């Protein structure tokens, strides 16, 4: 019953007008149908997601006094982000403005690193049991998400899986003081990232179709999906765990016990 209560709380939060805990505050539109497909199955519900994104991240440089500082612990901010193919002209205008602003800066201030990134789809899903988790992981791997696996599993623990793949990219561009690459190279990076975004969408669509062919119900079909779920009543006082966008490739999953289910698709 605890699984059902956690699921009810999460779905009630998703369907409310309250924003989630991600910086953006709402779910990514390109995967809304996929998330609904998963969440309407009685054995699953999504806890975190990102449809895939192209971004330019500004992050502090490592402190020379502490070389062991991890990159992911340095924070930073997005200068550019899109969940669709990137517009090359917008990226070029950001990195190479026609009239760079003149400003007085503190000489102690250090320029921040600029990193161009593409990150593919990733979805964290709580499963009712290990058998359900194994099935969903195998289905995801066969659809091209070959890094999918169980991230948390054990006696008394929640069964959490991550749907993900390895077509990400991360390229340093220089820093906020000087971009070290040419306009032509930036155009090339945008083209590569856009190709990866197209591949990411194809895999995502393929995963959704695989679910529908394996008994999942289409949330757009009124005859297949019951609308009287009454999630608010079941939620009671359980806090929702929805957190769109927090679970990113290469981040927190590395510190959790990870089980890979290998699958050979034929």
pLDDT attached to residue 148: 97
Q: Cβ neighbours of residue 36 under 8 Å, at least 6 residues apart?
A: 219
Q: How far apart are the first and last CA of the chain?
A: 38
Instruction: Report pTM.
Output: 0.76
Q: What number is the average pLDDT over the span 182-194?
A: 98
The string of pLDDT tens digits covering residues 30-67 is 999 999 999 999 999 999 999 999 999 999 887 644 55
Of the pLDDT bands very low, low, confident and very high (cuts 50, 70, 90), residue 188 is: very high
Q: What percent of the chain has pLDDT over 90?
A: 58
Residue with tokens 């006082």: 237
């Amino acid at each position: 019953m605890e699984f059902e209560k956690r699921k009810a709380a999460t779905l009630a939060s998703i369907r409310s007008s309250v924003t989630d805990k991600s910086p953006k505050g709402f779910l990514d539109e390109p995967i809304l149908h996929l998330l609904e497909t998963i969440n309407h199955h009685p054995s699953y519900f999504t806890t975190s997601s990102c449809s895939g994104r192209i971004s330019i991240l500004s992050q502090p440089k490592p402190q020379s006094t502490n070389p062991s500082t991890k990159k992911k612990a340095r924070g930073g901010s997005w200068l550019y982000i899109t969940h669709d193919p990137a517009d090359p002209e917008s990226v070029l205008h950001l990195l190479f403005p026609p009239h760079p602003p003149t400003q007085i800066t503190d000489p102690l201030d250090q320029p921040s690193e600029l990193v161009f990134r593409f990150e593919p789809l990733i979805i964290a899903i709580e499963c009712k049991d290990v058998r359900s988790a194994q099935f969903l992981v195998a289905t995801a791997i066969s659809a091209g998400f070959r890094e999918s696996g169980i991230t948390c599993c054990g006696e008394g623990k929640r069964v959490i899986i991550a749907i993900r793949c390895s077509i990400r990219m991360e390229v340093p561009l220089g820093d906020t003081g000087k971009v070290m690459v040419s306009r032509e190279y930036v155009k090339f990076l945008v083209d590569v990232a856009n190709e990866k975004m197209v591949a990411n969408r194809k895999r995502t669509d393929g995963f959704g179709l695989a679910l529908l062919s394996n008994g999942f119900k289409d949330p757009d079909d009124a005859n297949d999906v019951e609308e009287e779920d009454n999630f608010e009543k079941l939620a009671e006082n359980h806090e929702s765990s929805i957190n769109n966008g927090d679970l990113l490739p290469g981040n927190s999953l590395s510190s959790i016990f990870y089980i890979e289910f290998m699958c050979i698709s034929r």
